[in-house]
Amino acid sequence: MYIAIAGNIGSGKTTLTQMLTERYRAKAYLEEVDNPYIGDFYEDMNRWSFNLQICFLGNRIRQTMEMLKDNRSGVILQDRTIYEDAHIFAGNLHEMGLMSGRDIETYMKIFGLVTELIPKPDLLIYLKASVPTLISQIRKRGREYEMNIDAAYLQRLNDKYNHWMDTIYDGEVLTIDKDREDFVEDASVFEAICARLDALKAGE
């Protein structure tokens, strides 16, 4: 059973991945942040946005292939998906004028070829959160490089996520409203998520 967790920066993806990993004794496949283009990108975003995103895409493809080979305990858990790389982050860079039309077209062609070769998650858990909730979570975890993330940028990403969920992604989805459903503070929320996974697992 392949479970993926999607959501904006600060939505709690890694925390939920780790909680579910412990419950199901599976291995956590966390988002990889190491990218040799990241420094160049922040120096000249227009020049390096395509390189940055292609590198992230390649890392995600490799991770997904490794993950599918390592199916421990019948449950696979992935923190952030290949779909978000394309429809959220690359798409946002293009809309902001930081990736050319030619580059986004090439990127999406590669993405399209790859996604024909890998399975969709059996369930995608979407952690939906308002910008104030995201900012609160970001401040709480205290990563220095995230402290200056702009609220307007988070809202742009939220808009991209909502569009992706409403009109593009066609797989099975469980949406958790983080403004009202805190799986860390409220054990019943976490148990409800696990009940959904257990039902899927029983139906395999």
- As annotated, the active-site residues are 85
Q: What are the tokens at 116?
A: 């024909």
Count CA within 13 A, CB hemisphere, residue 94.
Answer: 19
C-alpha to C-alpha distance for 40 and 36, rounded to whole angstroms: 8
Q: Which long-range contacts (CB under 8 A, 24 or more apart) does 143-152 make?
A: 146/9, 146/10, 149/9
Residue 80 vs residues 3, 53, 96, 100, 185: alpha-carbon distances, Å: 10, 14, 22, 25, 22
The crossing angle, in degrees rounded to 10, of helices 187-202 and 13-24 is 60
Residue 32 vs residues 71, 101, 153: alpha-carbon distances, Å: 19, 26, 21
Whole-angstrom Cα Rg for the chain: 17
Q: Which residues contact 74 (CB under 8 A, 6 or more apart)?
A: 1, 201, 204
